[in-house]
Amino acid sequence: MIIQSLYQSKTSFGLSELVKEQPTPNIFFDVFLELHMSSLLNHLACDSKSVKELLSKKNKKHFTHEFPLFYKQRDGYSAIDQALDANQIRSVNTMIKHILTYQNDYVYSNLFRHNFVDLLNKGVKLKSLVASKIFNHTFDFDAWPATSTDDRKLLVLYNSSVFDLRHKYPDVFPELHKAE
């Protein structure tokens, strides 16, 4: 019934009011088989008022690190992609803020793998995202040198599998590898 009401809402205001009227936001966060294993939040991503309402502080008790709200769907798109396609920059900024708070881990970097240039071009606030754990992962492996004569912090791009990284020290840091 709620899904039909959402689709029949004629205005953005009506949609956000329908979201506000629900006693609990769980219905928007749960995954449904009928929606091809996605949540209603993914379908509401194009409405910045609804996203702001669902991700507001009053719903904080429903957010956990164990159950992420943003993920790639079966078709390879996420709610961020859908909001970007609809030019809903406020919605994207709200989702990124939530991701930085509750999903701040490198495993969620796949959410930004194919849309980062679009995020830049559309003026999305990315400073916190780029500095987060999503794009910065400390890698510690015993075969890599634990100390170095070079005490500068180095950020190096690596676009292959994290599982292959342990054998790639000479490729990732060729100058340091030669010096050591």
For residues 179 and 48, give the distance between their C-alpha atoms in angstroms, rounded to a whole number. Answer: 52
**39: three-class secondary structure by DSSP:** strand
pTM: 0.75
Among 69-73, 108-112, 155-159, the range scoring the smallest mean pLDDT is 155-159
The DSSP secondary structure of 79-131, one letter per residue, reads: HHHHHHHTT-HHHHHHHHHHHHHH--SGGGGGGGTTTHHHHHHTT---HHHHH
pLDDT category of residue 1 using cuts at 50, 70 and 90: very low
For residue range 27-52, list pLDDT tens digits in order: 776 666 556 566 777 878 888 888 89
SS3 29: helix
pLDDT digits (tens, 9 = 90+) for 122-171: 999 999 999 999 988 777 777 777 666 666 777 777 878 878 888 888 88
**Long-range CB contacts for residues 149-154, cutoff 8 Å, separation at least 24:** 149/179, 149/180, 150/176, 150/179
Q: What domains can you pick out in the chain, each with its CATH number?
A: 2-131 (1.25.40), 138-180 (no CATH)
